[in-house]
A and B are shown apart, each in its own frame.
Chain A
Amino acid sequence: MTTATLKTRTGTPRPSTEAGSRGQWLRFAILVALAAFALIPIGGTVVLSLRSNNGTGSLTLENFTNVLSSSGAVAWLLNSLQVALATVVVSVAVAAPAGYVLSRGRGRLVGGYSLLLFVVQALPVITSVIPLFILFSHIGLADNLVGITILYVASSMSVATWMMAAYMDGIPGSLEEAAWIDGASVFKGFLHVVLRNSLPGVLSTAIFTFLMAWNDYLVASIFLRSAGAFTLPIGVQTFFQQHSTDWGSVMAVAVIMLLPPTIIFATLNKYFSVGGVAGSLAGQ
């Protein structure tokens, strides 16, 4: 995104579409077809959630009012929001400095850590989640939101660190050097110069970690036991099973769950870039 934004900003003229309007409409048609492929299952969910249960098929919000008043949906929503936002804050706080070291550091240790992040990303969550559950239960972190937040931070850490490193790669070292000459420490240089100029990178990382924490099913399904601690994916799953024949309500809960990440992406997607990860991994 960085370069894309740059180009439009610096006013690089976009090449005129040469193939003419027929080519343009063909391309548009292909994209619309792909968008339909993307949208149909989700669209079906939304439509079902809005259809009344009395068989007339008229549009209504009654499924939503029913679900919000009778199920634990509000509590699950709040739990999910808390976990996701806490994950975002901690992840950025951990990944930004680590990303800075990866971006600026050379040498065997940094390279080794980079490799370690890569290998850890390759480990299946399924192997570690049961032992961690047993470990966490001994230290009071099972069945509560703190425990899963720690795991979400851990499991999004590799990608988050690469994303931060990728963004910081785009910030010239001369900036910090100027600050050091003015007497700033390395830490202050990081904090006041690099991090301050990395806000789009931070936002990108924040969106990614939010999504990861919001959507997780596996970790939450093992760690959360009490209905009071359920996040949406688990609550929704419970709700599905208890109301399997009541599609309207089930789909209403599903829509409540897909709304926040969709809104975030619809409004912030121009700030979101995960593409830099490739450059960061390549050690550029």
Chain B
Amino acid sequence: MSTSVRRTELPLTMRTPAPEARKRRRTSSPGRAPATKAFLILPSVVILILTNAYPIAYAAFQALHNGSLITPGDFVGLDNFAKVLADPAFWRAAGFTVIFAIAGVFGSWIIGLAIALLLRTRIPAKGILKTVLLLPWVVPIVVSAMSWNWLIGTSSSPVPSLMHALGFGDAIFLSDPLGAQITVCLFEVWVNFPFMMLMMSAALTSVDESIYEAAKIDGASASQSFRYMTLPIIAKPTYIAWVLMTIFCVNDFPTVYLLTHGGPVGATNTLVVLAYKTVFQNFQTGPGVAIAFLMTLALAAVAVLLFRQIRKSTSS
């Protein structure tokens, strides 16, 4: 793959006019020195192709065969896909993936936006607060999953003990399917809200604060100025942040896996976790890759659609 890129690149380089010649003809940046630009972007293209083309082709092969990681197996056509699509566990995981992504995106957005708004006002110890609020995103997932397990994992963990002492009964969140689902979603929000906070803080910097002064003089309430002045300005970055976060959440493996392994009884299986377990615990490489493939197709389609949407809304 990379060699073919280089082959098309070569004639371009030879056609490149001398910089001085170009300078006299055009001074505007777009379209200038295409060869230099091709050269500048080449490493990125090579890495992208090298690390994506082969795995995708390989996965496509596996999805159509009944082999294992070790043996290629026989061609089975779309059997793996049929098998996966007929499996209720797949649809349960698909359903939870949607819930997980929605909770992860909007939960982290609401908290992130609230913090971003609060951090714009005058508040003591702002620097320290900001650093502390970034921690969940900064701390490695392996460590935070460990911390959460320590905090809520068993009946003798701090939170269940506390709740028991307060008379809430036995609250072993990870033992109950619904409790585990809520916990996993909450963990995802906890991990991701700092990212949203950063995105929203950046978006809010383009809101000129003097307009609030004017609005206030005109008698607008705080909620009115938020609704009619802040929201429209941050709408586009918000939308993009949602799109990015959707991608992060759907692809997120360690958050779920390290906390619950997808249990109890598969209640917190997302598609990624189900694909992993199908390949490595049930040794069904074909169906496992088929799950990942279906998910990739869906996500890529959604991504292209949303990307177009972003560009369209910008250009109009």
Q: Which residues of A contact B114 (CB under 8 A)?
A: 30, 34
Q: Return the chain A residue nearest B46 by Cβ.
A: A94
Within 8 A of B (CB), among A46-93: 48, 93
Question: B254 near A: Cβ within 8 Å?
Answer: yes
Instruction: Give B211 Cβ to nearest chain A Cβ, in Å.
Output: 10
Contact A150 to B203, CB < 8 A, known contacts A186-B33, A274-B195, A283-B314: no
Contact A274 to B198, CB < 8 A, known contacts A98-B40, A186-B36: yes
Q: Is the CB of B240 within 8 A of A101?
A: no
Question: A203 near B: Cβ within 8 Å?
Answer: no
Report the separation of the CA atoms of residues A155 and B55 in the bound assembly, to the nearest whole angstrom.
13
Contact A126 to B253, CB < 8 A, known contacts A173-B28, A237-B142, A273-B198: yes
Question: A107 near B: Cβ within 8 Å?
Answer: yes
Instruction: Give A273 Cβ to nearest chain B Cβ, in Å.
Output: 6
Main secondary structure of the interface of A (DSSP, over half): helix
Q: Which residues of A contact B210 (CB under 8 A)?
A: 15
Report the separation of the CA atoms of residues A150 and B43 in the bound assembly, to the nearest whole angstrom.
12
Question: A284 near B: Cβ within 8 Å?
Answer: yes
Q: Is the CB of B142 within 8 A of A236?
A: yes
Q: Return the chain B residue nearest A185 by Cβ.
A: B19
Instruction: Give B219 Cβ to nearest chain A Cβ, in Å.
Output: 14
Q: Which residues of B contact A40 (CB under 8 A)?
A: 151
Q: Return the chain A residue nearest B289 by Cβ.
A: A127
Q: Is the CB of A150 within 8 A of B47?
A: yes
Interface centre among A38, A101, A247 (most CB of B within 10 A): A38
Report the separation of the CA atoms of residues A236 and B300 in the bound assembly, to the nearest whole angstrom.
34
Q: Is the CB of B254 within 8 A of A218?
A: yes
Q: Return the chain B residue nearest A218 by Cβ.
A: B253
Q: Is the CB of B202 within 8 A of A98?
A: no
Q: Which of A48, A94, A184 contacts B47 (CB 8 A)?
A: A94
Contact A35 to B132, CB < 8 A, known contacts A28-B124, A217-B140: yes
Report the separation of the CA atoms of residues A155 and B253 in the bound assembly, to the nearest whole angstrom.
14
Q: Return the chain B residue nearest A215 by Cβ.
A: B140
Range for the number of chain A residues in contact with chain B: 35 or more
**Quick one: CB contact mask for A15-36 with B, threshold 8 Å, 1 for yes?**
1111000001001101110110
Q: Which of A38, A98, A283 contacts B135 (CB 8 A)?
A: A38
Question: B182 near A: Cβ within 8 Å?
Answer: no
Question: A224 near B: Cβ within 8 Å?
Answer: no
Q: Is the CB of B296 within 8 A of A127?
A: yes
**Quick one: CB contact mask for B110-142 with A, threshold 8 Å, 1 for yes?**
010011001101111000011111111011111
- Of B77-85, B166-174, B302-310, which stretch is located at the interface? B302-310
Q: Is the CB of A39 within 8 A of B118?
A: no
Report the separation of the CA atoms of residues A159 and B147 in the bound assembly, to the nearest whole angstrom.
28
Question: B14 near A: Cβ within 8 Å?
Answer: no
Report the separation of the CA atoms of residues A113 and B48 in the bound assembly, to the nearest whole angstrom.
10
Q: Is the CB of A277 within 8 A of B122?
A: no
Q: Which residues of A contact B213 (CB under 8 A)?
A: 15
Q: Is the CB of A104 within 8 A of B304?
A: no
Within 8 A of A (CB), among B132-188: 132-136, 138-144, 146-148, 150-151, 158
Question: A228 near B: Cβ within 8 Å?
Answer: no
Question: B299 near A: Cβ within 8 Å?
Answer: yes
Instruction: Give B30 Cβ to nearest chain A Cβ, in Å.
Output: 4
Q: Return the chain A residue nearest B26 by Cβ.
A: A180
Instruction: Give B120 Cβ to nearest chain A Cβ, in Å.
Output: 9
Q: Is the CB of A107 within 8 A of B31?
A: yes
- Interface residues in chain B, defined as those with a beta carbon under 8 Å from any beta carbon in chain A: 19-20, 22-23, 27-33, 36-37, 39-41, 43-45, 47-48, 50-52, 54-56, 58-59, 69, 111, 114-115, 118-119, 121-124, 129-136, 138-144, 146-148, 150-151, 158, 190, 194-195, 198-203, 205-206, 209-210, 212-213, 216, 236-237, 240-241, 243-244, 247, 250-251, 253-254, 258, 272, 275-276, 279, 289, 292-293, 295-296, 299-300, 302-304, 307, 310-311, 313-315
Besides A122-B251, A127-B55, A282-B311, 7 other CB < 8 A contacts?
Answer: A42-B136, A97-B43, A101-B37, A186-B32, A257-B140, A269-B130, A278-B199
- Interface residues in chain A, defined as those with a beta carbon under 8 Å from any beta carbon in chain B: 1, 3-4, 7, 14-18, 24, 27-28, 30-32, 34-35, 37-42, 44-45, 48, 93-95, 97-98, 100-102, 104-107, 111, 113, 115-132, 134-135, 150-151, 153-155, 157, 161, 173, 176-177, 180-181, 183-187, 190, 211, 214-215, 217-218, 232-233, 236-237, 240, 247, 250-251, 254, 257-258, 261-262, 265-266, 269, 272-279, 281-284
In the A-B complex, list the 7 residue pairs whose CB atoms are closest, starting with the nearest. A275-B202, A128-B55, A97-B40, A131-B58, A41-B147, A278-B237, A98-B44
| A-B contact list, 12 entries, CB within 8 Å | A31-B119, A39-B132, A44-B151, A100-B40, A119-B300, A120-B52, A127-B296, A157-B44, A186-B33, A262-B138, A275-B201, A277-B199
